[in-house]
């Protein structure tokens, strides 16, 4: 994949196999896809799982070859992914090259005036002080672009201009950054909103919690309303009703099943006092989790995550096993799980201080051999 562009039909078939595995589909079965493939292949900080789309990953690997031969103007990196870092400005054209700290274009948008179209950035730098020539900058750019230029630092000593990869903070090319950059470009072509827009919920925080991976995955799915509650099948006309299978009072959404249901509240009311007193306008489980992340410490977030997970497992036991666990039983299970997690995360200690004691060598008894 890192050398040749594979046929699209083959890549689509590989993607199909991964999608089927993700939703538990076997052979010709047809199961509900609770999360779209376009959502799954996004990075974790952009509400996705970080699973690779083979077609995009193929392009990202090929771009790595372009980085190695960066002098080629036809490489992916040279055409799209590179920006200039201003040194002396002698290699950068003001209106034709990407050097401006303005996302999407990285070029000035002001009309060309006072200078030629192929003028270099060096003309905007005062040679005596090696700083920006503010009067000239203010004459050719509008106020917004003047502020952009002023934010570009210049070295007090003349240095050559450099090209950097704009996909990473270090300016060094990585396949991972090229993959997500390529995915972003495809979304923009299809008119989808940019994933670079700041999300309300810090999605990366979910994956950094010190809880089992199954719990992290569950929280991610719940935030996307991608757990199999009654509402989604009803909306897709795959179920006759959408009421909660436990309380029978309200439509079963993620926020209802895990927080608002009276039987869920019976569990929360017997646990941490800080969680009991937590009050936040919860329009969805996503907004609830966001409020918790902004309020609770790491230890309390672990408790919240495990408790929500166990409440969901109890809900499934009611449906599939016709058993209903008492709130105290759920709380006890969560406490035991926290103890196990804490023991797992403890550093391994030396078993005995005798391991550092050096014993003198002794000759073996007569007629015996000793192997060191």
DSSP state of 364: P
The pLDDT of residue 29 is 65
Whole-number pLDDT of residue 256 = 94
Q: What is the pLDDT of residues 213-246, one digit of tens each?
A: 999 999 999 999 989 999 988 887 878 889 999 9
The domain segmentation of the chain, as residue ranges, is 1-24+33-80+173-190, 87-160, 203-343
| pLDDT above 90: percentage of residues in the chain | 32
Confidence of residue 7 (pLDDT cuts 50, 70, 90): confident
- Reported as a single tens digit per residue, the pLDDT across 23-77 is 666 666 666 667 777 777 777 777 777 777 878 877 777 776 665 555 454 555 5
Which among 16, 118, 345 is positioned nearest to 212, based on CA atoms? 345
* pLDDT at site 184: 75
Tell how far CA 236 is from the center of its chain.
Answer: 29
Give the mean model confidence (pLDDT) for residues 157-180: 80
Q: How far apart are CA 187 and CA 37, in angstroms?
A: 13
For residues 359 and 11, the model is more confident at 11
pLDDT at 270: 86
Share of the chain above pLDDT 70, in %: 81
> Which stretch of DSSP H or E encloses residue 178?
helix 175-189
What is the model's pTM? 0.57
349 has a pLDDT exceeding 80? no
- DSSP codes, 320-355: HT-----HHHHHHHHHHHHHHHHHHHSPPPPS-GGG
Q: What is the mean pLDDT of residues 323-349?
A: 85
Among 15-29, 67-81, 176-190, 243-257, the least confident range: 67-81
For residues 46 and 96, which has the higher predicted lDDT (pLDDT)? 96
Classify burial at 62, counting beta carbons within 10 Å of its beta carbon; exposed 0-12, middle 13-18, buried 19 or more: buried
pLDDT of residue 197: 44
Mean pLDDT of the chain: 81
**Taking residues 179-195, what's their average pLDDT?**
68
The structure tokens listed for 151 are 């934010």
* Interacting residues of 51 by C-beta distance below 8 A, sequence separation 6+: 18, 22, 40, 41
- Which of 44, 4, 33, 16 is CA-nearest to residue 204? 44
DSSP state letters, 83-128: EEE-SSSTT-BTTTSS-SS-TTT-S--SPP-SS-TT-BGGGGEETT
pLDDT digits (tens, 9 = 90+) for 274-308: 776 676 667 899 989 988 888 888 999 999 999 99
């Amino acid at each position: 994949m890192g050398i040749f562009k594979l046929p699209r039909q083959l890549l689509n078939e590989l993607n199909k196999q991964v999608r089927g595995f993700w939703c538990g589909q076997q052979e010709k079965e047809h199961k509900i896809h609770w999360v779209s493939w376009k959502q799954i292949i996004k990075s974790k900080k952009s509400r996705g799982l970080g699973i690779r789309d083979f077609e995009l990953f193929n392009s990202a690997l090929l771009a790595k070859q372009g980085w190695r031969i960066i002098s080629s103007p036809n490489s992916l990196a040279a055409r799209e992914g590179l920006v200039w870092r201003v040194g002396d400005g002698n290699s950068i054209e003001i209106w034709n090259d990407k050097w401006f700290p303005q996302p999407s274009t990285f070029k000035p948008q002001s009309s060309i005036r006072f200078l030629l179209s192929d003028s270099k950035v060096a003309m905007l730098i005062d040679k005596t002080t090696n700083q920006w020539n503010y009067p000239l900058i203010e004459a050719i750019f509008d106020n917004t672009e003047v502020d952009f230029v002023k934010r570009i630092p210049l070295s007090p000593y003349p240095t050559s201009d450099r090209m950097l990869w704009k996909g990473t903070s270090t300016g060094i090319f990585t396949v991972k950054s090229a993959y997500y950059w390529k995915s972003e470009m495809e979304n923009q072509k299809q008119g989808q909103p940019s994933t670079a827009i700041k999300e309300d919920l810090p999605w990366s925080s979910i994956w950094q919690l010190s809880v089992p991976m199954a719990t992290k995955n569950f929280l991610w799915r719940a935030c996307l309303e991608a757990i199999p509650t009654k509402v989604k099948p009803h909306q897709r006309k795959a179920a006759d009703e959408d009421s909660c299978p436990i309380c029978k009072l309200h439509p079963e959404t993620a926020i209802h099943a895990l927080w608002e249901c009276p039987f869920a509240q019976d569990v929360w009311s017997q646990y941490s006092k800080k969680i009991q007193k937590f009050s936040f306008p919860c329009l969805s489980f996503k907004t609830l989790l966001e409020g918790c992340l902004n309020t609770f410490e790491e230890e309390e977030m672990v408790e919240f995550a495990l408790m929500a997970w166990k409440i969901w497992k109890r809900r499934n036991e009611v449906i599939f096993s016709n058993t209903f666990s008492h709130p105290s039983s759920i709380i006890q299970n969560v406490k035991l799980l926290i103890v196990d997690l804490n023991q797992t995360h403890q550093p391994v200690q030396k078993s005995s201080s005798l391991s550092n004691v050096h014993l003198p060598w002794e000759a073996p008894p007569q007629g015996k051999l000793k192997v060191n």
